[in-house]
């Protein structure tokens, strides 16, 4: 359960980092989310589940963080950052309530 809470906190942190454009955190969080989202998408597609939204958000957020680190910052990255924060809070609430 602690690992789930840490991963959700990293989702929120990556979203806030993308929104605020905090340079030194963009690359490590971007690489982490790129790998995490890519792995989630890969394993979901391999199992025949082609509607993996949460992994897609991680993957897209990772790409956006990496691009923002390199100076490519379109306005749409703000929306993706907000979606990442909402995803992190949502998953934290769902993960917290499902434990007994």
pLDDT (tens digit, 9 = 90+) per residue, 19-48? 999 999 999 999 999 999 999 999 999 999
Other residues' Cβ atoms within 10 Å of the Cβ of residue 37 = 21
Give a yes or no: residue 89 inside a domain.
yes
**What are the residue ranges in the chain where pLDDT is below 70?**
96-100
Let me know if residue 6 belongs to a domain. yes
Residue 43, domain extent: 2-95
Predicted pLDDT at 36: 96
Give the number of domains in the chain. Answer: 1
Looking at the domain assignment, is residue 88 inside a domain? yes
DSSP state of 48: T
Q: Are 67 and 45 a contacting pair, CB within 8 Å?
A: no
Report if residue 100 sits inside a domain: no
pLDDT of residue 16: 96
């Amino acid at each position: 359960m602690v690992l789930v809470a840490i991963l959700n906190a990293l989702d929120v942190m990556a979203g806030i980092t993308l929104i605020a454009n905090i340079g030194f955190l963009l690359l490590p969080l971007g690489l982490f989310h790129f790998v995490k989202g890519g792995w989630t998408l890969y394993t979901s597609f391999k199992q025949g589940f082609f509607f993996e939204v949460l992994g897609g958000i991680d993957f897209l957020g990772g790409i956006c963080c990496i691009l923002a680190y390199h100076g490519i910052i379109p306005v749409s990255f703000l929306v993706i950052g907000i979606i990442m924060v909402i995803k992190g809070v949502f998953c934290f609430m769902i993960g917290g309530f499902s434990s007994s």
